[in-house]
Amino acid sequence: MNTLHRLVLAAAVCGTMPALAGVISIQPATFNPGVGQTFSLDVTVNGAADWYAYQFDIGFNSAVLSANSVSEGAFLSGAGSTSFFEGFIDNTGGTISFVVDSLIGPISGASGDGTLASISFTSIGAGVSPVGAFNVTVLDSFGEGIAVDTAGGTVTVSAGEAVPEPSSAFFLLGGSLALLALRRASRHP
């Protein structure tokens, strides 16, 4: 039996794995805000083929970031009418659960690259927060699962620029000049 026959037989007996059709990533992949800054990160897809619906969760470090809102990206809505659910934000646990988007009606799925969702965060503490998608499910227009890969991002929040303290020589000079001005003013009425 030649190699081609063995591969065909193995595929028939074991079933087939869905082909990898897209990479979900967080963009920008790295971001460096200061404490108290509000900003958005996009959940994007590259290399999608016939995406009809998707669901994912987002994880982040709740000591560093606080999620404010999730809004629908243009990827699926560019292919037709959609039904979007922004999920459940849990800022204590550092998750956004059950972000869902689906096309409506008997149409082909979306293909190519685009933004699935935008997430607004506020940085609440200095430190590093990985941000990534997990529990990802993607369906094509026939209701079949599509295998995808994920790539997370990293947000590094700085405590801010330290305000330099004036040196003691500056205070001594300033105080001396003030005393000199007062002494001079008291001699010349």
- Taking only the tens place, the pLDDT of each residue in 142-170 is 999 999 999 999 999 998 654 444 555 55
Q: Is the pLDDT of residue 8 over 60?
A: no
Residues of the chain with pLDDT > 70, as a percent, come to 74
Question: Cα–Cα distance between 80 and 84 in angstroms, integer?
Answer: 12
Residue 112: per-residue pLDDT: 96
Question: Cα–Cα distance between 167 and 170 in angstroms, integer?
Answer: 5
Task: Summarize the confidence of residues 65-94 as an average pLDDT.
Answer: 97
| Mean pLDDT score across all residues of the chain | 84
Question: Cα–Cα distance between 133 and 82 in angstroms, integer?
Answer: 21
| Confidence category of residue 44, pLDDT binned at 50, 70, 90 | very high
Task: Summarize the confidence of residues 44-56 as an average pLDDT.
Answer: 97
Overall residue count recorded for the chain in this entry = 189
Q: Is the pLDDT of residue 178 over 70?
A: no
The two three-digit tokens of residue 131, written as one number: 């941000």
What does DSSP assign to residue 165? Answer: P
3-class secondary structure, 48: strand
What does DSSP assign to residue 94? Answer: T
Question: Greater confidence, 26 or 164?
Answer: 26
Q: Is the pLDDT of residue 131 over 50?
A: yes
Task: Summarize the confidence of residues 126-138 as an average pLDDT.
Answer: 97
CA-closest candidate to residue 51, choices 147, 152, 153: 147
| Confidence category of residue 21, pLDDT binned at 50, 70, 90 | confident
Task: Summarize the confidence of residues 55-81 as an average pLDDT.
Answer: 97
Residue 104: per-residue pLDDT: 97
H-helix segments, 103-147: none
